[in-house]
Amino acid sequence: MDERINIIKMKELTFKELINQIYNYSEWNNLKIELFDINNNIIKTDEDVKKEFKNNQPTFKIILTKKTKIIKNALVIMIAISEYIDNKKWINLDNIKDIDIKNFKYLFKQELNYDFIYNEKSNMDKIDVQEFMDELFINSKLRRNINNYDALIMIISGHGDIGNVLITSEGDKILIDEIQSLFDCNRMKSFQDFPKIFIIDIFCNDNNIKMKGKDKNNIHNDNGFLTIWSKTKGYQVSNLSLFSETMKNIISLKYKNGYSLNQMLKEIQENIQKKDSDKWYCVQSEDTTDYEIIFQQRKSM
Write out pLDDT tens, residues 124-171.
999 999 999 999 999 999 999 999 999 999 999 999 987 689 999 999
Q: Is the pLDDT of residue 213 over 50?
A: no
What's the rounded Cα separation, in Å, for the pair 167 and 85? 11
Q: Is the pLDDT of residue 214 over 70?
A: no
What's the rounded Cα separation, in Å, for the pair 63 and 173? 45
What is the average pLDDT across 67-85? 96
- At a CB cut-off of 8 Å and minimum separation 6, what does 231 contact? 160, 200, 202, 203, 204, 209, 211, 212, 281, 282
H or E element that contains 46: helix 46-52
The answer to whether the beta carbons of residues 158 and 202 sit under 8 Å apart is yes
Torsion of CA 169, 104, 72, 183, to 10 degrees: -20
Write out pLDDT tens, residues 47-69.
999 999 888 888 888 877 778 89
Strands (E), the chain: 31-37, 42-43, 60-71, 74-80, 115-118, 151-161, 165-167, 173-175, 196-204, 225-233, 281-287, 291-295
**Average pLDDT over all residues of the chain:** 87
Between 7 and 249, name the one with better pLDDT: 249
What is the average pLDDT across 75-90? 96
Domain ranges of the chain: 15-67, 72-295
User: Tell me, what's the pLDDT at 10?
Assistant: 86
User: Tell me, what's the pLDDT at 113?
Assistant: 98
The answer to whether the beta carbons of residues 242 and 100 sit under 8 Å apart is no
Write out pLDDT tens, residues 235-283.
566 788 999 999 999 999 999 988 999 999 999 999 998 886 556 778 8
Between 116 and 37, name the one with better pLDDT: 116
Architecture of domain 72-295: 3-Layer(aba) Sandwich (3.40)
| Residues in a beta bridge with 35 | 43, 62
Highest mean pLDDT among 99-113, 252-266, 283-297: 99-113
User: Tell me, what's the pLDDT at 188?
Assistant: 92
Among 279, 209, 189, which residue's Cα sits nearest to residue 242? 279
User: Is the Cα dihedral 246, 199, 212, 99 positive or negative?
Assistant: positive
What is the average pLDDT across 214-241? 72
